[in-house]
Amino acid sequence: MSNEKASYDKDMPFKVLAETFERIEIISSRTQMTVLLVNLFKKTPPEIIDKVIYLLQGRLWPEWKGLPELGVGEKTLIKAIALATQSTESEVESLYKSLGDLGRAAEKLKLKYEERMKKQSMSILSFIPVKKELTVNQVYDVLSRVALAQGEGSRDIKLKLLAGLLSDASPKEAKYIVRFVEGRLRLGIGDATIMDALAIVYGGGAHTRPIIERAYNLRADLGHVAKILATQGVDALKGIKPQVGIPIRPMLAERLSDPNEMLRKVGGEAFVEYKYDGERAQIHKSGDKIWIYSRRLENITYQYPDVVEYARKYIKAKEAIVEGEIVAYDPDTGELRPFQELMRRKRKHDIHIAIKEIPVKVFLFDLLYADGEDYTVKPLPERRAKLEEIIEQTEVFQIAEYIKTRDPEELEKFFLKAIEDGAEGVMIKAIHRNAIYQAGTRGWLWIKYKRDYKSEMIDTVDLVVVGAFYGRGRRGGKFGALLMAAYNPEKDVFETVCKVGSGFKDEDIDKLPEMLKPYIIDKKHPRVVARMQPDVWVTPALVAEIIGAELTLSPLHTCCLDVIKPGVGISIRFPRFIRWRPDKGPEDATTSQELLEMYKRQLKKLSG
Ligand code: ATP
């Protein structure tokens, strides 16, 4: 822990946070963001660091907890602002219309209201009690009560709570409270930046950053990790283990297309497993209680009552965390069905009908924790052996098909068999002593070999929307193309790769304004690095799968800028939209480093 004592004891004025929000809004670099966060955390008492972090992330708790969101409609919020500022709803509405920002409308009305009050008090010389400052705990507590008010009469309760909170808030505080409630705070601070600042303030320096990151990878709750760090010190984080019920950030694979190279890369011998085309699931079990988390760590338990049943019945350990892929299958033939089929099931309203129409199987590929033992630190063969021991395998709940090999030809044959059986390709996994489960990391211990690599086109990539261009002709008055970026995890920024306008169906184009609306911002996002100027800038959030003819060098794009040649970055020629990837967040996009590797392989192929 840092030696300095926080400026406040146990709680802190909310104003300190509101002022930080205001500064973050006008800065343009990640370094500046870190400095602001360091200053904020230095003032923050350790007892409330978790709440401060959630508020910075624009939420009340991690998404995976499955707790309700605020659930306040615009109408209720307008009413609350009107009540708190003694204005009429139509006054709030018209100001909102002219400013285009309900937060700023609230701020203005609060200012006016305060002026009126001041005048009144001067004219009647009455005594106005000095209002006490709102604190972080108070704001957090009221907002949590707003979220947790459910069922009959909850709309009134939410309204009263919010009107009360806004009455006590200063104009600036009201602006940010309103934006928070609307889900429009969007400060764009990445987890990586928060961890940098935490390491400096509580860890004793940047050298403790990896310890914080490891803890976060094992317990995907930055507020919770920060609280342990701030209250118990960095040593307490060193001993952290997975905990049933708290998701672990998934281990991810690199990609290659030459079996020889793959085997070399993982150290000669490997497990080669089917890469199933479904949804990744991290299944937690504690007695009869089951949780299922998606690749993005959303709690998807309620979507899979059938998988919950399988897990209860077929995981024999009392406590366990296992990972697998949920895949749709045809009940008549037993054959596996593609990812789209599973998505169709997710869209159905009545889950009990859906599970009959589109049944699923689970193929397990890893074990992260079992009965008090942390398996993430053990090599894959040991994890697999224990997984086989604690699972009762059945037709619908089984261990992923795999072989152990050091022979590239055998690998290639197994790959073809996998494709024939409806898988997407294979995963090549290292099995040496150091082949641990690297939570939250995309590394070379796992390599994916997908079917698309065999086709004429290059691999597909997943890119993030960071801007949009207005269309022409048939697309006049709509968006016609998107500016897409790759993620650079070292710098925690998004670097542009291409402008994509092909591949969209008419209905995709029609839906774009609505999809982009919540993310449109009036200037470039601080975590976006771009040379091209789109018509509108967009907060990095939406991920799409893109394919193209080849990778090229371009002076217009910033992905791996100056890495291959000065002044140019990597781009995609003839990019085409394939589909949205709602199962991926912006940091899950293809990385700049991956594109660089792809570019180098392409060069090698051309010269060879
Ligand atoms: P993709 O878009 O190719 O699914 P990704 O970014 O989601 O990739 P990667 O780690 O690159 O994740 O690829 C592995 C993905 O493949 C996992 O996230 C998982 O959903 C899926 N998968 C299917 N079978 C396996 C397996 N046997 N082992 C690991 N992952 C598997």
In this structure, the residue with its CA closest to atom 28 of ligand 1 is 365
Task: Find out whether the beta carbon of 399 lies less than 6 Å from any atom of ligand 1.
Answer: no
Share of the chain above pLDDT 70, in %: 95
Relative to the CA of 581, which ligand 1 atom is closest? 2
Q: Is residue 365's pLDDT more than 60?
A: yes
Task: Find out whether the beta carbon of 221 lies less than 6 Å from any atom of ligand 1.
Answer: no
pLDDT at 218: 97
Residues 115-136 have pLDDT tens digits of 998 888 776 555 555 568 999 9
Average pLDDT on 493-522 reads: 93
Where, residue-wise, is CATH 3.30.470.30 in the chain? 252-453
Give the mutation target among 248, 252, 380 for probing the ligand 1 site: most ligand atoms within 8 A of CB. 252
pLDDT at 453: 44
Q: pLDDT: is 534 or 188 the higher one?
A: 534
Cα–Cα distance for residue pair 596/551, rounded to 1 Å: 9
Cα–Cα distance for residue pair 239/226, rounded to 1 Å: 15
Q: pLDDT category, 451, cuts 50, 70, 90?
A: low
The span from the first CA to the last CA of the chain, in angstroms, equals 55
Residues 1-32 have pLDDT tens digits of 444 567 788 999 999 999 999 999 888 788 99
Relative to the CA of 400, which ligand 1 atom is closest? 27
Relative to the CA of 584, which ligand 1 atom is closest? 7
Average pLDDT on 568-589 reads: 90
Task: Find out whether the beta carbon of 295 lies less than 6 Å from any atom of ligand 1.
Answer: yes
CATH assignment, 461-607? 2.40.50.140
Cα–Cα distance for residue pair 280/262, rounded to 1 Å: 23
pLDDT at 4: 52
Where, residue-wise, is CATH 1.10.3260.10 in the chain? 14-58+188-238, 74-182
Residues 464-477 have pLDDT tens digits of 999 999 987 777 77
pLDDT at 457: 44
Instruction: Determine the 3-state secondary structure of 600 from DSSP.
Output: helix
Q: How far is the CA of 228 from the centre of ligand 1 (A)?
A: 31
Task: Find out whether the beta carbon of 365 lies less than 6 Å from any atom of ligand 1.
Answer: yes
Where, residue-wise, is CATH 2.40.50.140 in the chain? 461-607
Average pLDDT on 567-585 reads: 89
Considering the candidates 110, 275, 386, 499, report the single residue annotated as catalytic: 275
When the pLDDT of each residue in the chain is averaged and rounded to a whole number, the result is: 92
Residue 592: name the closest of 511, 496, 501 by CA: 496
- Segment 415-422 long-range contacts (CB within 8 Å, at least 24 positions apart): 415/259, 415/272, 415/449, 418/274, 418/275, 419/451, 421/274, 421/336, 422/277, 422/335, 422/336, 422/337, 422/338
**CA 433, 439, 445, 449 torsion: positive or negative?**
positive
Task: Find out whether the beta carbon of 175 lies less than 6 Å from any atom of ligand 1.
Answer: no
pLDDT at 456: 41
> Using an 8 Å Cβ cutoff, are 237 and 215 in contact?
yes
The CATH class of the 252-453 domain is alpha beta
Residue 572: name the closest of 502, 497, 518, 503 by CA: 497
Q: How far is the CA of 252 from the centre of ligand 1 (A)?
A: 7
Burial of 158 (0-12, 13-18, 19+ CB in 10 A): buried
Per-residue buried b or exposed e for 462-475, using 16+ beta carbons within 10 Å of the residue's own CB = bbbbbbbbebeeeb
Q: pLDDT: is 607 or 223 the higher one?
A: 223
What single letter denotes the amino acid at residue 324? G
**Residue 275 annotated as catalytic:** yes
Residues 350-361 have pLDDT tens digits of 888 899 989 999
CATH assignment, 74-182? 1.10.3260.10
Task: Find out whether the beta carbon of 253 lies less than 6 Å from any atom of ligand 1.
Answer: yes
Q: What phi and psi values does residue 135 have, to the nearest 5 degrees?
A: -115, 165
In this structure, the residue with its CA closest to atom 22 of ligand 1 is 275
Task: Find out whether the beta carbon of 427 lies less than 6 Å from any atom of ligand 1.
Answer: yes
CATH assignment, 14-58+188-238? 1.10.3260.10
Residues 378-435 have pLDDT tens digits of 999 999 999 999 999 999 999 999 999 999 999 999 998 888 788 889 999 999 999 9
Cα–Cα distance for residue pair 554/516, rounded to 1 Å: 26
Average pLDDT on 175-183 reads: 95
**List of E strands, 225-318:** 252-255, 270-275, 279-286, 289-293
pLDDT at 129: 58
Q: Is residue 161's pLDDT more than 50?
A: yes
Relative to the CA of 424, which ligand 1 atom is closest? 23
Q: What phi and psi values does residue 402 have, to the nearest 5 degrees?
A: -155, 160
Q: pLDDT: is 365 or 255 the higher one?
A: 365
Residues 306-335 have pLDDT tens digits of 999 999 999 999 999 999 999 999 887 778
